[in-house]
Amino acid sequence: MVAGMSNLLIVYATTDGQTLRICQRIQSVVELGGHQVTLVPVQDVNSCPLEHFDTMVVGASIRYGKHSPLVHDFVQRHAALLASRPNAFFSVNVVARKPDKNLPDTNPYLKKFLKQITWQPRLLAVFAGKINYPVYKPLDRLMIRFIMWMTKGPTGRDAVVEFTDWTQVEAFGREIVQMQQGLQVN
């Protein structure tokens, strides 16, 4: 690794691919900041040498009100390691499309998740996700349309609506770079 460059790991869980796209955008920003980034799906993280990373970021999507149990298990199992270095967590959910639910301290899914785990991330973010009815399985499409109907979201059978604020994602990536630069000073 080049002097001054830190090595960042992003562990993620994605349901329909939007969380991966967000991870890739964060990766681009962090790499522009001169750091190395490795993306690993949470289901493959056991084969990854976690101790080799200077900074760790975990990102997870919501489906039916919950983050993946694999994410919960990962952060519980590695809470001490995560806490021992610069770290961050972000949640991707469609409820974050609402202005009163798009911050870490106002998003119900993130607040609930943080109460269930021992790790307390140093940096937090919430990003609005994407509705993509054409790719959902029939039962998922029905359930998500019902949830969207109840919450006054898009319900058209073929609707594809991206709520993600990419400027916000890039700003989070820059915050991670700043956090890593703090690592280099110490």
Mean pLDDT, the chain cut into blocks of 10 residues (186 residues total): 72 95 98 94 94 96 91 96 96 94 95 95 97 94 93 93 97 94 54
**Predicted local confidence at residue 150, as pLDDT:** 92
In order, the DSSP letters of 33-50 are TT-EEEEEEGGGGGGS-G
**Predicted local confidence at residue 185, as pLDDT:** 39
**Predicted local confidence at residue 3, as pLDDT:** 46
In order, the DSSP letters of 8-25 are EEEEEE-SSSHHHHHHHH
Question: How many CB atoms neighbour CB 160 within 10 A?
Answer: 12
- What is the pairing mode between strands 55-63 and 7-13? parallel
In order, the DSSP letters of 103-150 are STTT-HHHHHHHHH-S---SEEEEEE-EEEGGGS-HHHHHHHHHHHHH
Evaluate the CA torsion angle 169, 103, 175, 40 in order and state its sign: negative
**Predicted local confidence at residue 63, as pLDDT:** 86
**Predicted local confidence at residue 49, as pLDDT:** 93
159 alpha carbon, distance to own chain's centre? 23
Q: Are 121 and 87 in contact (CB under 8 A)?
A: yes
**Predicted local confidence at residue 110, as pLDDT:** 96
Calpha distance 37→24 (Å, rounded): 10
Domains and CATH numbers, the chain: 7-129+166-185 (3.40.50.360), 131-163 (no CATH)
Q: Cα torsion for 98, 102, 106, 109, to the nearest 10°?
A: 90
**Predicted local confidence at residue 180, as pLDDT:** 82
